[in-house]
Amino acid sequence: MRMYFDSYDTPAGVVGVLATDDGIREVGWGLRPGDAGTEPHELVQAALGQLREYFAGQRRDFDLPVDLAPLEPSTRAVLAAMRTIGYGETITYGELARRSGTGLPARAVGSIMGANPVPLVIPCHRVVAADGLGGYSGGEPGRGLATKVWLLELEGALPPTLL
């Protein structure tokens, strides 16, 4: 299977995009090309363009094919439910568990989110704990929660912090 890669230096750190001919396979901070080709590919370039628009406040959702083929059906169901969370909206892990229809408990949903291969495109940053922000595995190393706060502020889901 042919893989393609490129990256973009966002206001929240460098984000890489890895794609197959079928769709976006991975999006993430610290993502490297590995064995993927780095020649221009239209799907990767479309993803980078949509990321630029998102970080500029001009895009509210992503219109990209996602290649989740190697994932378990319950994982795909949780990720599909996550795609229904609107820009600027937050829901709890428990609500996401209910929306997914998988019967999985909130803790299991949290584990699936931590392994989300396409954060931002599938907006796991919009899922919060019942008593606070919860965690976030995205962002540059050691900056996960700060990145989640920044993304939620960008979307207007949190008021800007006073620092």
Q: Which of 68, 82, 159, 128 is nearest to 136 (CA)?
A: 128
Architecture of domain 4-55: 2-Layer Sandwich (3.30)
Task: List, in sequence order, every residue forming a beta bridge with 119; answer none if it has no partner.
Answer: 122
Q: Average pLDDT over the chain, rounded to whole?
A: 92
The DSSP letter of residue 159 is P
The pTM assigned to this predicted structure is 0.92
Domain residues of the chain, as ranges? 4-55, 73-154
CA angle 131, 59, 127 (to 5 degrees): 15
Q: Is 124 a catalytic residue?
A: yes
> Average pLDDT of 62-67?
95
Asked: is 73-154 a CATH 3.90.1150.10 domain? The reply is no
Residue of 124, 127, 152, 154 marked catalytic: 124
> How do residues 20-50 score in pLDDT, each as one tens digit?
999 999 999 988 888 777 777 999 999 999 9
